[in-house]
Amino acid sequence: MAARASASRDQAAGWHGRPSPWPANRHGSTLVGRNVRVRGRRTSLRLEETVWDAMAEICWREQVSLDQLCDWVDRRRMESSLASGLRIFVLGYFRAAATEHGHAAAGHGVLHPRGPEG
Protein backbone atom coordinates (compact mmCIF):
# COMPACT_ATOMS: atom_id res chain seq x y z
CA MET A 1 0.00 0.00 0.00
CA ALA A 2 2.80 2.45 0.85
CA ALA A 3 4.44 1.77 -2.51
CA ARG A 4 1.18 2.56 -4.33
CA ALA A 5 0.77 5.88 -2.46
CA SER A 6 4.38 6.78 -3.21
CA ALA A 7 3.95 5.96 -6.91
CA SER A 8 0.84 8.13 -7.23
CA ARG A 9 2.63 10.96 -5.44
CA ASP A 10 5.52 10.71 -7.90
CA GLN A 11 3.09 10.87 -10.84
CA ALA A 12 1.25 13.91 -9.47
CA ALA A 13 1.82 17.25 -11.17
CA GLY A 14 4.72 19.09 -9.60
CA TRP A 15 5.68 22.73 -9.10
CA HIS A 16 9.12 24.20 -9.71
CA GLY A 17 10.48 20.80 -10.68
CA ARG A 18 9.51 19.18 -7.39
CA PRO A 19 6.76 16.54 -7.26
CA SER A 20 3.50 17.57 -5.65
CA PRO A 21 3.32 16.29 -2.05
CA TRP A 22 -0.24 15.04 -2.68
CA PRO A 23 -1.64 12.38 -5.01
CA ALA A 24 -3.33 13.50 -8.21
CA ASN A 25 -7.13 13.77 -8.30
CA ARG A 26 -8.56 10.97 -10.43
CA HIS A 27 -12.28 11.51 -9.85
CA GLY A 28 -12.90 14.24 -12.43
CA SER A 29 -13.86 16.90 -9.86
CA THR A 30 -12.05 20.20 -9.93
CA LEU A 31 -12.04 20.20 -6.11
CA VAL A 32 -9.77 17.98 -4.05
CA GLY A 33 -10.57 17.25 -0.40
CA ARG A 34 -7.91 17.06 2.28
CA ASN A 35 -7.83 17.19 6.08
CA VAL A 36 -5.94 19.86 7.99
CA ARG A 37 -5.72 20.97 11.61
CA VAL A 38 -6.89 24.49 12.39
CA ARG A 39 -6.80 25.83 15.95
CA GLY A 40 -6.05 22.30 17.11
CA ARG A 41 -9.12 20.76 15.44
CA ARG A 42 -9.22 18.55 12.37
CA THR A 43 -11.24 19.96 9.50
CA SER A 44 -11.65 19.08 5.85
CA LEU A 45 -11.14 21.45 2.94
CA ARG A 46 -12.06 21.13 -0.71
CA LEU A 47 -9.85 23.25 -2.97
CA GLU A 48 -8.62 23.13 -6.53
CA GLU A 49 -5.44 21.12 -7.13
CA THR A 50 -3.62 24.29 -8.23
CA VAL A 51 -4.49 25.96 -4.91
CA TRP A 52 -3.14 22.94 -2.98
CA ASP A 53 0.04 23.07 -5.09
CA ALA A 54 0.40 26.81 -4.49
CA MET A 55 -0.03 26.32 -0.74
CA ALA A 56 2.61 23.56 -0.80
CA GLU A 57 5.01 25.98 -2.48
CA ILE A 58 4.21 28.70 0.07
CA CYS A 59 4.82 26.22 2.91
CA TRP A 60 8.15 25.27 1.35
CA ARG A 61 9.17 28.92 0.89
CA GLU A 62 8.05 29.99 4.37
CA GLN A 63 9.30 26.85 6.17
CA VAL A 64 5.90 26.13 7.76
CA SER A 65 3.58 23.14 7.73
CA LEU A 66 0.28 23.12 5.89
CA ASP A 67 -1.54 23.08 9.24
CA GLN A 68 0.42 26.14 10.40
CA LEU A 69 -0.40 28.00 7.19
CA CYS A 70 -4.12 27.15 7.42
CA ASP A 71 -4.19 28.17 11.08
CA TRP A 72 -2.45 31.49 10.31
CA VAL A 73 -4.91 32.28 7.48
CA ASP A 74 -7.91 31.24 9.59
CA ARG A 75 -6.96 33.67 12.37
CA ARG A 76 -6.66 36.60 9.94
CA ARG A 77 -9.30 35.92 7.30
CA MET A 78 -12.22 38.20 6.60
CA GLU A 79 -13.84 35.90 4.04
CA SER A 80 -16.86 33.77 4.89
CA SER A 81 -15.06 30.41 4.75
CA LEU A 82 -11.59 29.06 5.34
CA ALA A 83 -11.45 27.75 1.75
CA SER A 84 -12.24 31.23 0.41
CA GLY A 85 -9.73 32.78 2.79
CA LEU A 86 -7.02 30.41 1.57
CA ARG A 87 -7.75 31.17 -2.08
CA ILE A 88 -7.54 34.92 -1.38
CA PHE A 89 -4.33 34.46 0.62
CA VAL A 90 -2.64 32.42 -2.16
CA LEU A 91 -3.60 35.01 -4.77
CA GLY A 92 -2.33 37.86 -2.58
CA TYR A 93 0.89 36.04 -1.72
CA PHE A 94 1.93 35.54 -5.32
CA ARG A 95 0.54 38.87 -6.46
CA ALA A 96 2.66 40.67 -3.88
CA ALA A 97 5.71 38.83 -5.22
CA ALA A 98 4.99 39.83 -8.82
CA THR A 99 7.05 42.63 -10.32
CA GLU A 100 7.25 44.13 -13.80
CA HIS A 101 10.69 42.56 -14.27
CA GLY A 102 9.38 39.18 -13.12
CA HIS A 103 6.45 39.33 -15.52
CA ALA A 104 8.71 40.22 -18.43
CA ALA A 105 11.12 37.39 -17.58
CA ALA A 106 8.22 34.91 -17.40
CA GLY A 107 6.87 36.05 -20.76
CA HIS A 108 3.68 37.52 -19.33
CA GLY A 109 1.80 40.30 -21.03
CA VAL A 110 0.54 38.38 -24.05
CA LEU A 111 -3.00 39.64 -23.53
CA HIS A 112 -1.92 43.28 -23.79
CA PRO A 113 1.33 43.33 -25.75
CA ARG A 114 3.41 46.45 -25.58
CA GLY A 115 5.59 47.70 -28.32
CA PRO A 116 5.25 48.63 -31.98
CA GLU A 117 2.81 45.80 -32.76
CA GLY A 118 0.57 46.24 -29.70
Which among 88, 2, 86, 5 has a CA at the least distance from the CA of 44? 86
Neighbouring residues of 8: CB distance < 8 A, sequence distance ≥ 6 = 23, 24
Q: How far apart are CA 101 and CA 15, in angstroms?
A: 21
What pLDDT was estimated at residue 5? 40
Which among 51, 46, 53 has a CA at the least distance from the CA of 17? 53
- Total-model pTM: 0.66
B/e letters for 78-88, b = 16+ CB within 10 Å, e = fewer, are: eeeebbebbbe
Neighbouring residues of 90: CB distance < 8 A, sequence distance ≥ 6 = 51, 54, 55, 58
Per-residue pLDDT of the chain (118 residues; tens, 9 = 90+): 444 343 333 334 444 555 555 555 555 568 999 999 999 999 999 999 999 999 999 999 999 999 999 999 999 998 789 999 999 999 999 998 888 877 777 777 666 555 545 4
| Domains of the chain, earliest start first | 7-97 (1.10.3990.20)
